[in-house]
Amino acid sequence: MTTAHPARPVFRSALSWVSAHLDAFHPDHDFVSDHSLRVKPFIELVFVLNPFLRRGLHRTEPEFARLVAFCARTFDSYDFAAFAQQDPAGLIVFALRDEFDALCGRPPRDRLLERFRQTGLPELVRVSRTPYRAMDLAYSVARAGLHFDPRSLLPDLPRTVLGAARPLPHCTDSDLYSVTHTLFYLADLGEADLAACWPDRSGLRALLRGALGLTLREGNADLSGELLMCLAFLGDTDSRAVRYAWTRLAALQLPCGAVPAPSYRAARDDSAGSEAGHYRFTQCYHTTLVMLGAAMPTLVDAPVNLEAAS
């Protein structure tokens, strides 16, 4: 893991905060048990964790081993099937779970994802979602088998903000989230060459850098982190602009290691010392996870070859 980079202290502090507050990611925890969150923090945790597992960090980094143990216990104990029956889009959790199990060498479970596939439910859910959210589901379902070809998503690309080539001055924050998430899947979170799906690397780099400047000026650590991750897919991890962006994110990080969302207000924070209260957790967990994902392509070596290692 790279040591001399301004992303590293942000990453380490964020990882320590997540590790210290794992209980709050459980769907039954008081912080998230209301209907608006419930399984969302846990799903996001596994989504961010799986790419680190592809790189084998749970075998060498104790804090990642701790995250793996927590996720395994939660998958074993919580009734995610009941949740998916209430919200069919929630079947993404089975895709993430199946990839998690395969990456950890755990035996297959209940074949729920395969049964959902046979019903055609993934396709019904896909057509009901916005284009980049449709990519989200398709990506996770394909990734459950450990093999994924980003070109399979190209039919949906023209309907996205990125595919429609919307000019940056016309983009809202929601549009920029669409851009970053589209690139997450086209790049297979850094494991595929973007050129196969998006040949204009220089134009894309200019768009992402321009957007990064805007989001940093607004103090939006969430979008800034996602844009940094996308720049890393283009090999832009050590430029002056990127290093400066990480120093700005470090300035936004709370002393406890959490990174607040744009909606965070310090006056409402109910935390006691380093222990997060309800408000801090719900306002910070997502952006703090984003810091882990954003730092990964910069700090962590390429994925391990699972087939060669077996």
Written as one string, the DSSP assignment of 133-186 is: HHHHHHHHHHHTTT---GGGGGGGGGGSTTTTT--GGG--HHHHHHHHHHHHHH
In this structure, what CATH number is given to the domain that contains residue 112? Answer: 1.50.10
Give exposure, 264-277, as e/b (b: 16+ Cβ within 10 Å). Answer: beeeebebeeeebe
Tell me which DSSP letter residue 237 carries: S
| Predicted local confidence at residue 129, as pLDDT | 67
Confidence band, pLDDT 50/70/90 cuts, at residue 234: very high
Residue 92, pLDDT > 60, answer: yes
Residue 1 lies in a domain: no
> Does residue 116 sit within a domain?
yes
Domain annotation covers residue 103: yes
In a domain, 306, yes or no: no
Give 63's pLDDT tier (boundaries 50, 70, 90): very high
The pLDDT of residue 283 is 95
Q: Looking at the domain assignment, is residue 305 inside a domain?
A: no
- Structural domain span for residue 159: 7-300
The C-alpha torsion from 220 through 221 and 227 to 230, rounded to 10°, is -160
State pLDDT tens for residues 217-232.
999 999 999 999 999 9
Return the structure tokens found at 113: 């994802």
CA 133 to chain centre: 13
CB 234 within 8 A of CB 204: yes
Output the pLDDT for position 85: 66
User: Per residue, what are the HEC states of 5-39?
Assistant: CCHHHHHHHHHHHHHHCHHHHCCCCCCCCCCCCCC
Give the count of domains, the chain: 1
Classified as helix, coil or strand, 251 is: helix
3-state secondary structure at position 272: strand
Query: Over 90: is that where the pLDDT of 280 sits?
Result: yes
pTM of the model: 0.91
- Split at pLDDT 50, 70, 90, the class of 179 is very high
